[in-house]
Chains A and B, each alone.
Chain A
Amino acid sequence: MALLSVSDLSTHFHAQGGTLRAVDGVSLEVGRGETVGLVGESGCGKSTLGKTIMRLVDPTSGRIEFNGTDITVLDARRLKAARRNIQMIFQDPFASLNPRHMIGDILTAPLKVHGIGNKAERRKIVEDIVQRVGLPGDALGRYPHEFSGGQRQRIGIARALILNPELVVCDEPVSALDLSIQAQILNLLVDMKRQLGLSYLFISHDLSVVRYFADRVLVMYLGRIVESADNATLWTSPQHPYTRALMDAVPDPARRRQAAPIYGDLPSPQNIPNGCRFHTRCPLATDLCRSQEPAFRAISPGHHVACHYAEPTLN
């Protein structure tokens, strides 16, 4: 049984100009100990999907199962209990920490909320996690502004891990950091996964980072998953034209001054194109693509693609 199992999940918002279909029928699984990468452009719905799984945003329809329990319908009290096992790391280490709270208070709060330990025990748990994530020992008595971006992200990670969760949803955890700091944080996330047996849903727009960090990759476009495969398969034989375009758009030292792989912007999620939702930007689109939405089908074991023209991968 998968640790997290999401089926046919939709999150729609009602906005001026019509319904905004941010997440529009997504099914996915995260296995125990697995790192699943979720990639896509801004506006594709990947962050909303993460927040819906965290139940920070209410789904419109569909089902989220965690450890076999349906958490889509839980009342507040039972939801709180479930949240102990699902935590989140946010993109912006500056915006996600309360500037008026000392690090010690920020890290103790989750323990208090869940009624864990007495004062002395909580202190010990906090000191342990601070050391694990590589923060200096005197960090507890200091405020967020006294730390650099990389250190702040360590604080965010410590806060997410302090309840000893099973699943951590990481929403662009290294995007706001300088390159020299990114590697430190990615290594820390790998260490934490090994030491604490974590599973990650790793949301990122950066393909190179996902290439390194994920066991399995989901590619999202306009509210839907358009391709999913294990890490090695996706990078060596991507089948969806969107996945290929994303990969070709990553600057590559070997190809000097090469033309952009696709033109145009992501269409509005309030006005999703008919047929295949990628057909407005797809270099290979045919009449079939304009009229009929492709099914998300398996083309080889473990490799799913939503494209009429995807072909089985050869191993």
Chain B
Amino acid sequence: MAAPLLRIDNLTVRFPNTEPVSRLSFEVGEGETLAIVGESGSGKSLTALALMQLLPRSAKIPNGRIEFAGKDLLGLDQKAMRNLRGREIAMIFQEPMTSLNPVLTIGRQITEVLTLHEGIRGKAARSRAIELLNLVRIPDPQRRIDDYPHQLSGGMRQRVMIAIAVACRPRLLIADEPTTALDVTIQAQVLDLLDTLRRELSMAVVLITHDLGVVAQWADKVVVMYAGRKVEQALPDALFRTPLHPYTRGLLAASPRLKTNLHYRDARLTEIPGSIVSAAGEKGCPFRPRCTVARDSCAHFVPALVEVSEDRLVACPYSFIPEVAHGAALGL
């Protein structure tokens, strides 16, 4: 098998008082979409920033390795990293309004990237920018190129962000909650666009999201994070059919779905009690304080990730016990 495009190995991100990412490992193959799913505080966004080496100054990476196309990113100097960012690895963020510069036209913001990374200027840059706006399906790009961000809708702004991100045909795109601020109809359009570009540009995508529906529909592989750790990894089908970790099972049980007949008059939603804050300072399994199947031993050690089948990892020693797998956490 070919080497993966991106390999994160045993990565830890540490701030003076906390460790928001602990011993995280995963791989992304060429042209693959990997979804990282978790709630606020799970460390998913900091993982992305670590990858881009855009962590705040107070953050340290005491151990771990980030390997992209065979290069060790943590060993690169600032200049080499700047060259890579935007050219080979690009990123889009949740809120397109705050990530775009409000006082520059969108055309200027796209050509800036082309000039910086590819030395394209003037008319050539402008016509390439129009091509890019066309690529991200912005109607009437010749006119829109001179618009300022505030003249565009939220969906259009996210398309502009995507145009900037793919301007240099990166091999990896990191999308951090790219559709969270958008309506479902617009979300469907943007995810459809991202996937089309992934195919056309043979680009790998790391999709960071809290939305399980998005994961199910668009990911090739899923990593579930909780309090800085990977608790489960699976192919989407398997994850939704037989979630193993009590947290994953809890999440799936807690989400109301359009296709089920669950109604408040007949049934309560299954809650995950407490909040992620309870993981702070936990010596054992970070999910223990909220887990419905926790045992005494869970307080003493952090469960290891175990490969239970091909493409399937889970960090809970009790998730294979049949009565646990089919029972408690689902409230059945």
Q: B40 an interface residue at 8 Å Cβ cutoff?
A: yes
Partner of B258, one of A184, A250, A258: A250
**A261 near B: Cβ within 8 Å?**
yes
Q: B240 in the interface, Cβ–Cβ < 8 Å?
A: yes
Given contacts A179-B254, A208-B255, A253-B216, contact A262 B271 (CB under 8 A): no
Residue contact B153 to A265, C-beta cutoff 8 Å = yes
Place the interface of chain A in its size category. 35 or more
| Nearest residue, chain A, Cβ from B253 | A183
Chain A residues, CB < 8 A from B191: 251, 260
- Stretch of B24-32, B260-268, B304-312 at the chain-chain interface: B260-268
Tell me, yes or no, whether A257 is within 8 Å of chain B by CB: yes
Is A246's CB within 8 Å of the partner chain B?
Answer: yes
**Cβ B257 vs Cβ A257 within 8 A:** no
Chain B contacts of A28 at CB under 8 A?
A: none
> Which residues on the A side are within 8 Å of B155 (C-beta)?
265
Residues in chain B near residue A41, CB distance under 8 A: 183-186
Decide if B268 touches A150 in the complex (CB within 8 Å). Answer: no
CA gap between A249 and B272 in the complex, in Å: 27
Contacts of B168 in A (CB 8 A): none
Q: Give B218's nearest chain A residue, CB to CB.
A: A257
In the complex, the answer to whether B184 meets A183 with C-beta atoms within 8 Å is no
Q: Which A residues lie within 8 Å of B43 (CB)?
A: none
Binds B, one of A51-59, A85-93, A209-217, A293-301: A209-217
Cβ contact within 8 Å between A179 and B184: no
B81 on the interface (CB 8 Å rule)? no
Q: Given that A178-B210, A251-B213 are known contacts, is A260 also in contact with B185, CB under 8 Å in the complex?
A: yes
- Set A215, A246, A258, A259: member contacting B184, Cβ < 8 A: A246
CB contacts (< 8 Å) of B213 on chain A: these are: 208, 250-253
- Report A202 CB to chain B, min CB distance, Å: 11
B145 CB to closest chain A CB (Å) equals 18
Pick the contact of B254: A149, A182, A247, A265 (CB < 8 A). Answer: A182
Contact of A183 with B269 in the complex, beta carbons under 8 Å: yes
B86 CB-CB contact with A under 8 Å? no
- Max count, chain B CB within 10 A of own CB: residue among A208, A231, A246: A208
Interface centre among B184, B214, B236, B255 (most CB of A within 10 A): B184
B259 at the interface (CB under 8 A from A): yes
For chain A, residues 95 to 109, give those with C-beta under 8 angstroms from any C-beta of chain B: none
Q: Do the beta carbons of B254 and A183 come within 8 Å of each other? A: yes
Query: Quick one: which of A191-222 are within 8 Å of B by CB?
Result: 205, 207-209, 211-213, 215
> B277 to chain A: which residues have CB within 8 Å?
148
Q: How large is the interface on B (under 10, 10 to 19, 20 to 34, 35 or more residues)?
A: 35 or more
B75 interface residue, CB < 8 Å from A? no
Chain B 238-265 interface mask (CB, 8 Å, partner A; 1/0): 0010000000001100111111001111
A212 touches B269 (CB 8 A): yes
Contacts of A207 in B (CB 8 A): 184, 258
In the complex, A182 Cα to B188 Cα: how many Å? 22
Tell me if B217 counts as interface (CB < 8 A to partner A): yes
If A231-B263, A253-B217, A263-B189 touch, does A208 touch B256 (CB 8 Å cutoff)? yes
B276 CB-CB contact with A under 8 Å: yes
Shortest distance between the CB of A3 and any CB in chain B (Å): 18
Distance from A151 Cβ to chain B, minimum over Cβ atoms (Å) = 8
Contact status A249-B271, CB under 8 Å: no
Chain A residues within 8 Å of B256, by CB:
183, 186, 208-209, 211-213
Instruction: Decide: B195 and A257 in contact? CB cutoff 8 A.
Output: yes
A253 contacts which of B236, B272, B273 (Cβ < 8 Å)?
B236
Q: How far is the CA of A213 from the CA of B218 in the complex (A)?
A: 27
Interface residues of B in 146-174 (CB under 8 A from A): 153-156
Within 8 A of B (CB), among A158-184: 178-184
B262 touches A212 (CB 8 A): yes
- Which residues on B sit within 8 Å (CB–CB) of A209? 256
Smallest beta-carbon distance B12→chain A, Å: 23
> Whole-angstrom distance from the CB of B132 to the nearest CB of chain A?
19
In B274-302, the 8 Å CB interface with A consists of 275-277, 290
A205 touches B184 (CB 8 A): yes
Complex contacts, B217 vs chain A, CB 8 Å: 251-253, 255-258
Give the CA-CA distance A314 to B36 in the complex, in Å. Answer: 43
- Do the beta carbons of B250 and A180 come within 8 Å of each other? yes
Tell me, yes or no, whether A42 is within 8 Å of chain B by CB.
yes
* A190-B268 contact given A211-B256, A235-B258, CB 8 Å threshold: yes
In B197-234, the 8 Å CB interface with A consists of 210-214, 216-218
Is B192 close to A, CB under 8 A?
yes
Q: Which of B185, B262, B269, B273 meets A261, CB within 8 Å?
A: B185
Known contacts A252-B213, A261-B185; decide if A247 and B258 are in contact (CB<8 Å): yes
- A266 / chain B contacts, CB cutoff of 8 Å: 153, 183
A179 touches B212 (CB 8 A): yes
Q: A182-B254, A251-B217, A256-B218 are in contact. List 18 more A-B contacts (CB 8 A).
A: A41-B186, A42-B183, A178-B39, A179-B255, A180-B272, A183-B272, A190-B268, A205-B183, A207-B258, A212-B264, A247-B258, A249-B184, A250-B213, A251-B188, A251-B216, A257-B195, A260-B189, A260-B191
Those 5 A-B pairs whose CB atoms lie nearest each other, nearest first: A251-B213, A253-B216, A212-B256, A178-B39, A260-B188
Cβ contacts A to B, 13 pairs, < 8 Å = A182-B254, A187-B269, A207-B258, A208-B256, A250-B184, A250-B258, A252-B217, A257-B217, A258-B217, A259-B192, A261-B185, A261-B188, A265-B153
Give residues in A with beta carbon < 8 Å to B.
Answer: 35, 41-42, 148-151, 178-184, 186-187, 190, 205, 207-209, 211-213, 215, 231, 235, 245-263, 265-266
